[in-house]
Chains A and B, each alone.
Chain A
Amino acid sequence: MKLEYILIGFGILFCLAGIGYLAAVYVKYLSEAGKLVSLLVTVGMFTFLGKYFEGLGW
């Protein structure tokens, strides 16, 4: 069970690193609409992730 948490932790870290890298490099190329949709999708992503961990009992 602990190993699962470690793997999930790594997964989350990689996701955040990937998003951070993409955001830093390419966000200036996004259109205004693209930025808005990205923001909404990011909010949705963290909301669902929060719900998932809530279900796990965190």
Chain B
Amino acid sequence: MAAKRRNLFLYLTLACFLGLIAIFVVDGYLGVYDTLYIPSGEREQKIEAGDWSQWAEWGRAEIGWGEKALFRYEVDNRQFSTYSAEVKVSVWHSREKVRDLLSKQIVVDAFKKGELEWVVNTAELLPSGISSEQGYEYTVIIDRGEIERKIILYMYPLVTPPPPR
């Protein structure tokens, strides 16, 4: 009787362990996850799906005035069905839309990845009254269905060095 009772605890332990794995697989792995690659000077910065809720709700891309910023947006569909959504990307400043960058339907098969790319030409964003020797910030908003991601796009000044004497 005591051995049966002891074994019951062992089976319950195993059941909890399997339950834990099931929770991680179902709740943690399955789903739709997005990763954004943003420029940071000469480097490319990666913002993973798990980062959005932690620090990168306001991720920051940095690029010099006049340069072109390449963004890559990857959607990882970890579901048993095809995922489809409309992705809209726009540039904002002071809560006003400056420009639409992209509006595209993305269709990703089950357990596959889909990728979108777009380029922000900062030369076209230089507002009147601001010189390229001043830094300036815009917000890039990515809408994917009900999900909204925001990135700060900082244009740093490209200061021309004085001519040598």
Which positions in A face B, CB cutoff 8 Å?
A: 15, 18-19, 22-23, 26-31, 33-34, 37-38, 41-42, 44-45, 48-49, 51-52, 55-56
**Known contacts A28-B54, A55-B2, A42 near B16 by CB under 8 Å:** yes
Of B5, B13, B28, B33, which contacts A45 at CB under 8 A?
B13
Is the Cβ of A48 less than 8 Å from the Cβ of B5? Answer: no
Of A26, A29, A34, A51, which contacts B9 at CB under 8 A?
A51
Of B2, B9, B28, B53, which contacts A49 at CB under 8 A?
B9
Is the Cβ of B13 less than 8 Å from the Cβ of A30? Answer: no
Which positions in B face A, CB cutoff 8 Å?
A: 2, 5-6, 9-10, 12-13, 16-17, 19-21, 23-24, 27-29, 31, 33, 49-50, 53-54
- 7 A-B pairs with CB atoms under 8 Å apart are A22-B21, A26-B28, A34-B23, A38-B23, A48-B16, A52-B13, A55-B5
Sorted nearest first, the 6 A-B pairs with minimum C-beta distance are A28-B50, A55-B6, A45-B16, A34-B27, A26-B28, A52-B9
Note all chain B residues with C-beta closer than 8 A to A30. Answer: 23-24, 27-28
Is the Cβ of A29 less than 8 Å from the Cβ of B6? Answer: no
Note all chain B residues with C-beta closer than 8 A to A41. Answer: 16, 19-20, 23
Note all chain B residues with C-beta closer than 8 A to A48. Answer: 9-10, 12-13, 16
Distance in Å: Cβ of B25 to nearest Cβ of chain A = 8
Distance in Å: Cβ of A23 to nearest Cβ of chain B = 8
Is the Cβ of B17 less than 8 Å from the Cβ of A19? Answer: yes
Note all chain A residues with C-beta closer than 8 A to B27. Answer: 29-31, 33-34
Query: How many Å lie between the Cα of A37 and that of B20 in the bound state?
Result: 8
**Cβ-closest chain A residue relative to B12:** A48
Note all chain A residues with C-beta closer than 8 A to B5. Answer: 55
Note all chain A residues with C-beta closer than 8 A to B31. Answer: 29
Query: How many Å lie between the Cα of A19 and that of B21 in the bound state?
Result: 8
Is the Cβ of B16 less than 8 Å from the Cβ of A44? Answer: yes
Distance in Å: Cβ of A29 to nearest Cβ of chain B = 4
Query: How many Å lie between the Cα of A29 and that of B49 in the bound state?
Result: 8
